[in-house]
Structure 1
Amino acid sequence: MIFDHLKKSTQELHNEAEAYNDASKVLDNSITVEEYKDLLITNYGSYKPLENFIADNNDVLNNGFSSFAEFHKSKRIEKDLKCLGIISADLELPIFKPNMVNLSYLLGIIYVMEGSMMGGLMISKQMQKCEHLTTLPDQKFFNREVTQTLERWNGFKEKVEDIENQINTEEITSGANDAFAFFKKAHIFYSEKKFLFS
């Protein structure tokens, strides 16, 4: 199974990316509004460049994958940032440098972006317990849309499995690893710039 292979082959970079993620402050309920702003900014910088890359190469996708070549995540973060007084267009973004452009590579990137939303469900559940975030309006990115998120993830997996014989294992793994590496890069990028908005 391609997904078993991907999980095993990307575990190291996956762990590295998670080690840089400030979502742990949501999970232990200690996060402040300022830290939450930073978390949204970092997530925006993680997803937006990858979404740009996928959308720019939408013609490479086929078999129903075009629905994943959209700005599903960054648009939601933009709305959350706007409610916090931050204009996403003003943010500097890290640059994503792909190693190749083909269907397998793109699917590897989408695998990481869509799979990460599963972890987002756990974060959204914990946000309700964060004392400093109780006054925030309903959040669009970290939301409680469990059914929709699961349907989107399962739909992606089914489509990939349908064309598994057309997928290059090394290339899809490369795309996934590059996406995880970029998530780590984005966290370091904003950490070094000390983006704190008040």
Structure 2
Amino acid sequence: MMSQQIKISDHQSKSILEILKAGTALSHQEAEKKNLAKKIIDHTISLEEYKKLLFINWKAYRSIEQYLYQNKHILPNELTSLVSYDKSNRLQKDLNALGVLLDHSQENSISCPENSSVDSLIGFLYVIEGSMLGGMLIAKHISQCPSLEHIRNPYFFSGKSKDQMKNWKEFCMYLNNQKYTESNIQKALDAANKAFTFFS
């Protein structure tokens, strides 16, 4: 995990979102290097690679969503609406439509932090809610991939941005209205960096 130790005194002029973005940049880049989504952008992905991408994403989102759901009770009310199985359920629908049956015994094969805190939950939410913005871009390229041109109206890469943008804006608004200590930020960063490794 590429977690960066930070000093809050070095970031007094930055928002929490800016600190999270900077502090997870290396993990984000590493995840993108290994992620098959880039082959959708350049239209070279095969159908089998697309299935693999959906499966990796399902496994990652399912693990994170389970972790968030199990610890939903410690989240502030403003963030509880973001906790659901929506992302992994949509991925499962896409996989089922392509004839892939999932083994749910694999759901817990990725381990989340044992010591949960609001800060760690925020770190995970930052990654999965932010990732949906990239998913909106990917959605525009699905129909342009020769091996995927038969896929109509995917559930996950749907390109339906209204709800995704609403969730992201609410999340950002909440973060920007809070005050954080160096310890709070570090815990959120550690969790966000771990979350990025799930997508590798």
TM-score, scaled relative to structure 2: 0.86
Q: Verify the 8 A CA contact 2:17 2:175 in the aligned structure 1.
A: no
Q: Verify the 8 A CA contact 1:96 1:182 in the aligned structure 2.
A: no
Given candidates 177, 181, 184, the residue that maps to 2:193 is 177
Aligned residues: 184
State the Cα deviation string for residues 62-106 of structure 1 (Å, max 9, x = none). 132111221121011011111111122457343223153000110
**Deviation for aligned residue 1:17:** 1.0
The corresponding residue for 1:188 is: none
Cα distance between partner residues in 2 of 1:38 and 1:59:
33
Cα distance between partner residues in 1 of 2:185 and 2:104:
38
State the Cα deviation string for residues 106-161 of structure 1 (Å, max 9, x = none). 00110001101111111110112111111113101001112222111111111222
The corresponding residue for 1:192 is: none
Q: What RMSD, in angstroms, separates the aligned Cα atoms of the two structures? A: 1.7
Instruction: Say whether residues 1:45 and 2:59 are aligned partners.
Output: yes
The corresponding residue for 1:112 is: 127
AA of the residue aligned to 2:94: D
The corresponding residue for 1:196 is: none
State the Cα deviation string for residues 33-60 of structure 1 (Å, max 9, x = none). 1111111011111111111100011111
Residues 8/99 of structure 1: CA separation in 2 closer, same or farther (3 Å cut):
farther
The gaps in structure 1 that reach 5 residues or longer are: 185-198
Secondary structure of the corresponding residue to residue 64 of structure 1: helix
Cα distance between partner residues in 2 of 1:42 and 1:100:
25
Greater helix share, structure number = 1
The corresponding residue for 1:152 is: 167
AA of the residue aligned to 1:8: A
Secondary structure of the corresponding residue to residue 111 of structure 2: coil
**Bigger shift: residues 59-68 or 38-47:** 59-68
Given candidates 150, 153, 158, the residue that maps to 1:138 is 153
**Deviation for aligned residue 1:165:** 4.2
Q: Which runs of 4+ in 1 moved over 4 A?
A: none
The corresponding residue for 1:194 is: none
Q: Verify the 8 A CA contact 1:33 1:133 in the aligned structure 2.
A: yes
Cα distance between partner residues in 1 of 2:171 and 2:41:
27
The corresponding residue for 2:35 is: 21
**Deviation for aligned residue 1:27:** 0.7
**Bigger shift: residues 120-129 or 96-105:** 96-105
Percent identity over the alignment? 33
Q: How does 1:1-198 map to 2 (within 5 A)?
A: 1-89=15-103, 92-93=106-107, 94-98=109-113, 100-165=115-180, 168-184=184-200
Residues 97/151 of structure 1: CA separation in 2 closer, same or farther (3 Å cut):
closer
Q: Verify the 8 A CA contact 1:63 1:159 in the aligned structure 2.
A: no
